[in-house]
Chains A and B, each alone.
Chain A
Amino acid sequence: MSKLEQFLRSRFAAALAAVLVGFAVSAVVLAAAGFNPIASFAALFNGAFGKPKYIANVIIKATPILLTGVSVSFAFKTGLFNIGAEGQYILGTVLATIVGVKLNLPMPLQVPIVLLSGILGGAALGAFVGWLKAHFGIHEVITSIMCNWISFYLCNYVVMSDTFHKPNSTSALPVSPSSYTMILGNWKKSEAGTEFLAGIPWLREILLKTDLNYGFIIGILVAILISFVLTRTKLGYELRAVGFNRDAARFSGISVEKNIVLSMLIAGGICGLAGALTITGISPHTITLLAAMESYGFNGMSVAFIAACSPIGCIPSSILFASLIYGGMTVQQVMGAPSDIINIMIGTIVFFTALPGITPLLANMVARRRKERENIRVSKDGTPLPEKEV
């Protein structure tokens, strides 16, 4: 097998091809709509990486979709489709807000409790969907979507409720400041902090102009932990066995029902954590009235698919998507092209990751051409070449 073939058969090539097709399709759509694609992509890149604070914002944007991506990947590796990441994320934000508003403990207690509330919210919703699947055999995709909308309206209900509504606004009350998880949150605003930062402009820009927080680091740790669970533990072994072949797992004494619920519980918990980290990490530190789905869950699915559902792979892929989403806003400002072009691009990328055959197909073509060349060589000098494995 030649190096090119090997590359074409790798997962990375498949991901790269999908991204390229995504760009190509967007370019066609942009051009058809009368915008210059090259200039648009330049604006996109500039908007994502042009300034230190942009990069910081990309990382902030990447945090929730890294976690929802890890959640979707984890579920997929165990044979389940967590399309409910969106709802679990929302429920995470709702519970984190409720607990964060009601409690005001010292930070070392407050932060874990608020995060845990979010995790529990997402986990409960995930487990509910898992239970419906395990005990009634209802496809998780439909129930998840229903739960997404129920969470959506529940969020709006909490925002508008007498207890939590912030008067004259479309949001709920912010959580207690002891829940915040920004990097150097207190220090950077202190006198010593501002003085120190005055000497380092780029750091000052990042810390003071953005809500850079610990979320992405936590996300990376979760990705590593989930990867370890899947590949190095008995639990991961059982979950994957159930995912690959439910009947064989049941036959060999593994409880299929328990593992489905457990898998969705964990997947939901990760999304809940993503929601909670949004509340603790970035302003306005509360939930606001939702007009449409915010797509943290759906973008998480894109992150997962392009990473071939590898939790570790979600780390770079979340950065990729975050830069597309964040940079995409600039496209609208600079070019006047609707920023929804990014959703078209992301949708296209996911669609092409769903087609398993494209890059292997190319690899086959390469192999065939090489074979043909070799055949020609054979006929020219008359001696057959030693058989190579294809």
Chain B
Amino acid sequence: MFDNLILLIGITLMYSTPLVFGALGGVISERSGVTNIGIEGMMVIGAISAASASYFTGNPWIGFLAAGICGALVALLHAVASVTFAADQTVSGVAINMLAPGLALFACRLFFDGAAMSPIATKLPKILGETGLAGTPFANLNVNVTTVLALLFTVIMWFVLYKTKWGLRIRAVGEHPAAADTLGIDVYRVRYACVLLSGMLAGFGGAAMTIAIISQFTQTAISGHGFIAMAAVIFGKWTPFGAYGACLLFGFTQALVIMLGGGNFVVPSQILSMLPYAMTIVVLILFVGRSVAPKADGVPYIKGSR
């Protein structure tokens, strides 16, 4: 029983980690007023970048960084479309979600002789090393270093958003861009920065999947995680800690799927696999009306039109 509990906690933390990165990306982008439906695609790009870079260099940290950079590059597309061209942010995000898997698979086949998955890449370390706590009942709490990073990033983002002038400006731009503009704040620059940061974080999220949880890129490594992360943003009321908590909940359902799937339950695995998705819908039904999005979220800012 105790072992199972520890295992449950361990798996929950493990599976919530990619979601936390994705959700933090969603928070920062939406706080500045840009809806980023493309988080999923940016996570996919992060996933392939991390696996390939780690495989070829043998250094998973290079993989992790590559994921962030490539995620940000894809986010640049979204920023150009939604900030500079005032395009429909949903369409732009959807296009990125179409483009990214194609790009990822193309790269994968190119790098790995036509295979749709990468070879096993070097993983990021666990916090206490490969053998830390081994043999003790707490072995499953030796979580991936990404899990700690995710928490760290959450704290940093909270601090930046609420305790620094940059955060004040980001929140102002997301609530009332015209007001920020009249005070000399460059709305476009703030939004560009936030969207790029959002892509970087989503890229890290992809890396947290392919070089921490599993150790290779596969076509289904990222399957709706970006969208679950977006639901976590809403559930978490657009705050870093709220989103973090929401991701823990979604990670928990994923952990349940794994624990129950391994046991002697009569529920078929396909039905169990639906649980995180069904859970997301239930959570949204319960919470969506009660959390208020930033006022200018998803609304392109065009100078001179107020």
Contact = CB atoms under 8 A, between A and B. Distances in A.
Interface stretch (A223-231, A258-266, A349-357): A349-357
Contacts of B280: 142, 146
Interface in B61-93: 77, 81, 85-88, 90-92
Contact of A355 (B85, B90, B281): B85
Nearest to A35: B110
A343 B268 CA distance: 33
A351 B277 contact: no
Interface stretch (A106-114, A133-141, A176-184, A200-208): A133-141
B102 A344 contact: yes
A157 interface: yes
Contact of A305 (B91, B101, B273): B91
Interface string A330-368: 000000101011111111101101111100000000000
Nearest to A350: B95
Nearest to A30: B106
Interface in A49-92: 81, 83
A149 B114 contact: no
B219 interface: yes
B21 interface: no
Contacts of A160: 268, 270
A298 interface: yes
B100 interface: yes
A354 B95 contact: yes
A249 interface: no
A374 B268 CA distance: 75
A342 B85 CA distance: 25
A354 B87 CA distance: 6
Interface in A123-157: 132, 136-138, 141-143, 145-150, 153-154, 156-157
B285 A350 contact: no
B268 A146 contact: no
A152 B249 CA distance: 23
Nearest to B88: A354
A355 B87 contact: yes
Contacts of B284: 132, 136, 138, 142-143
A301 interface: yes
A288 interface: no
A343 B99 contact: yes
Query: Interface range on chain A: under 10, 10 to 19, 20 to 34, or 35 or more?
Result: 35 or more
A178 to B, nearest CB: 29
Given A33-B110, A132-B285, A355-B85, A347 B103 contact: yes
Contacts of B90: 81, 141
Interface in B251-306: 268, 270-271, 273-274, 277-278, 280-281, 284-285, 288-289
Size band of the B side of the interface?
35 or more
A150 B280 CA distance: 11
B106 A341 contact: yes
A13 interface: no
A40 interface: no
Interface stretch (B120-128, B170-178, B224-232): B224-232
A292 interface: yes
Contact of A136 (B109, B268, B274, B285): B285
Contacts of A347: 95-96, 98-100, 102-103
A143 B230 CA distance: 11
A320 to B, nearest CB: 15
- What does DSSP make chain B's interface, helix, strand, loop or mixed? helix
Contacts of B40: 145
B231 A142 contact: yes
A108 to B, nearest CB: 35
B92 A142 contact: no
Given A81-B90, A149-B277, A305-B91, A351 B81 contact: yes
A196 B157 CA distance: 74
A291 interface: yes
Interface string B109-136: 1100010000000000000000000000
A29 interface: yes
Contacts of B105: 338, 340, 343
Chain A CB count within 10 A is highest, among B40, B81, B288, for: B288
B223 interface: yes
Interface string A11-33: 00000000000000000010001
B220 interface: yes
A302 B18 CA distance: 28
A146 B95 contact: no
Contacts of B86: 356-357
A83 B95 CA distance: 11
A356 to B, nearest CB: 6
Nearest to B104: A340
Contacts of B190: none
Question: 10 nearest interchain CB pairs?
Answer: A343-B102, A347-B99, A338-B109, A157-B270, A351-B95, A354-B91, A347-B98, A350-B95, A340-B106, A340-B105
9 contacts: A137-B288, A143-B284, A146-B277, A147-B281, A150-B277, A347-B100, A350-B99, A354-B91, A356-B85
Interface of B: 37, 40, 77, 81, 85-88, 90-92, 94-103, 105-106, 109-110, 114, 219-220, 223-224, 227-228, 230-231, 234, 268, 270-271, 273-274, 277-278, 280-281, 284-285, 288-289
